[in-house]
Structure 1
Amino acid sequence: ALAAAAALALALRFGLLAPPPTIEARIASEDGALQVAARIRPAGEAGAELVAELLRGAAAPGRAMELWLIPEGAPAPVSLGVLPQTGTLRRAIAPALARQLAGATLAISDEPPGGSPTGQPTGAVLATGRIPPGPG
């Protein structure tokens, strides 16, 4: 057992085992004026990392765009943060939430500067996308 654990540790350390594949999702408005690319990198027991990049569109003047995760069957959306006007949004996703990513919906809402004051979407839904279901 000790030898197997040592072999696994060496394989991970030297990149002999492939990391889990990155999951990609596209979030878009119906007319395509707002588009965001989302990449999710599974991190095993550590959860996952989300990277969201604004490809097209912008928040209305004096407003912000907030990204939400809506797991299948969940009672409420979970905020992943306010999208920056340029660049990318990076978020660590806790393990319990990372287990609910497959098949979940990503949505962007129109919010006041700094994001929703209530912890739930308060403005119009601007765009949505779906995270692909897991294998099997």
Structure 2
Amino acid sequence: MKAITMILLTVFLAKGCSNEAQNDISNTTLQYTATTRGFFQKIVVINQKATISRDRNSEKFPEEIAISDKDWKEIISYFEKIDLGKVPTLKDPTQKRFYDGAAIANLKIRYQDKNYETTDFDHGFPPAEIEKLVNKIVSFGKAKE
């Protein structure tokens, strides 16, 4: 009986640790980039801070804003729902970027020393699986425009 209890306890603790690792995104880098000939925006989110660059050549210093606890919790909840293994194969819902109807955008995620990058998609029209996360990240860039 003790052996069964120990096995079950070990399994539950192991599952709890893996979920805790998934929840810990303080060392994760989320980088959203949107670009056309006349538009550039790069938003990098790391540990409750967002850095916003609107200068393609890095001649101007990027803006840095603090992310509120409420917004950070939203980011965490959206991030937890993403299957990182599927990120490179996500399908773009529109192709407006092919005729200059939208900026070319992508999302890069660096999580636990692994990189995950989407294929290009239209700015404002991310794949459904990452839509809430991307829209939240983009909202930080709109706040200071």
Same fold (TM over 0.5): no
Q: Which has the larger radius of gyration?
A: 2
Higher helix share: 2
TM-score, structure 1 normalization: 0.31
TM-score, structure 2 normalization: 0.29
